[in-house]
Chain A
Amino acid sequence: MARGRFHGDRWWKVMRLKEQCQHYLKRSLRNRCGVAYRHLRRALIHQTKGRRLKVYATNILRNQRLEAACDEHEIGHRRFKRGLNKSGVTLNQHMLNILSMYEPRTFERLVELAERTEIETVRGVHEPLPERRFSANKINI
């Protein structure tokens, strides 16, 4: 039903708006579109801003999970990352989390890899190394 010359048929536009407001508790917000539009607009703005914050939050979560997984194997999480870097393993936090949850035995071996490369390349430089060595004959001068 056309109310005026300028607006035309706004029924579909109003229906799209109302679909988003059906879960609002106040009856006036469910039925009156002008009032509801303000709330909707705020919610959509939060959504656009939240897209950036989501990355921030997932990084924090993944770090917490890595710390927990390293704690179970009695290694510090920073030592673990250092050792992996030294040995050339470039797995990111996301994959390390997946391994610790779904493949616990590979994660144990990764912990061993990190420890032994760190001892033999960083800490073992000034000390005689064991005969059965894990890492290649590399030294850091």
Chain B
Amino acid sequence: MLLSRLAWAIGTVWLAASLAFLLIHLAPGGPAIALGGDSGAPGYLEEVARLYGLDRPLPEIYLDWLMRVATGDLGHSYRSGQSVLSLILERLPVTLALVAPAVLLSAIVGTLLGLLRTPRGFAASMAALHAVPGYLVGQALVMAFALGLGVLPVQGLVDGRGPGGGGIARLLDMARHLILPVLALALHNLTFVALLTRTRVMAEMERPYAVTAAAKGVAPRLVRRRHALPNAMLGLVSLFGSRLGGFVTGAVTIEVLFALPGLGRLAVTSAIARDHPVVIGLVLFTTAFVVTANLVVDFAFRRLDPRLEETA
């Protein structure tokens, strides 16, 4: 069971990375233009292609790449010469600091909102909010908070004028800078969780056990929380797990909008610069991350619902 799951996971990562490899190599334009600026001299493009071994046939480049990846070597950036793995690990904390609070926020607040006895129009307004892309939500937040109230910063991870250094002051500064981006990223998913919780709980409330509980005189609030929610949770966890990838892709636009130096920004700058090793390395890394997260959710799900363990 575990082994076949693992084989699937590795296959998925290989497929995604190979697709990324193909796409970036087939995209018109090479790294030379990004490296040399606007107007290269004759022969310059060919020179750069030779330098990075891009003048060889594609299958040869692919096999070369595959051999190296198999040994855990993601290669080096054309632009900076830095190893791809170190580039990714350098940016990972920023993306995690953005994504982790957003995931928690949307899971917890979303569930709570879904459980509330809500006024008419709640579902419709949640659905409307959900339809707004995170990018626009971000713009609106910037307008309201930063320009309207002048309280929160609109870009970056730390204050540009700050003295630098570490300590608690720096952490507080980072937290201040992350409030708006986390909200912008969370809102889209929070509304989704709220809607889903609501419909799931409502469905459970009509099932015989809930009706029985209500008939026995259990308060509706408690029927929701104690009986309907745990059952509804099962579906919620698996659906939420399948959306983790969405947080990662959502982070790309949020990082661009709020000028945060995370993995998403790395992906965008590298794609524009045709920095092939970095782009492919990022796809490999994020696919591995999402696939792993899904595996974990899968197993958590089995623990939550013993019935699945038997049928598997």
Partners in one complex: no
Give A contacts to B, CB under 8 Å. Answer: none
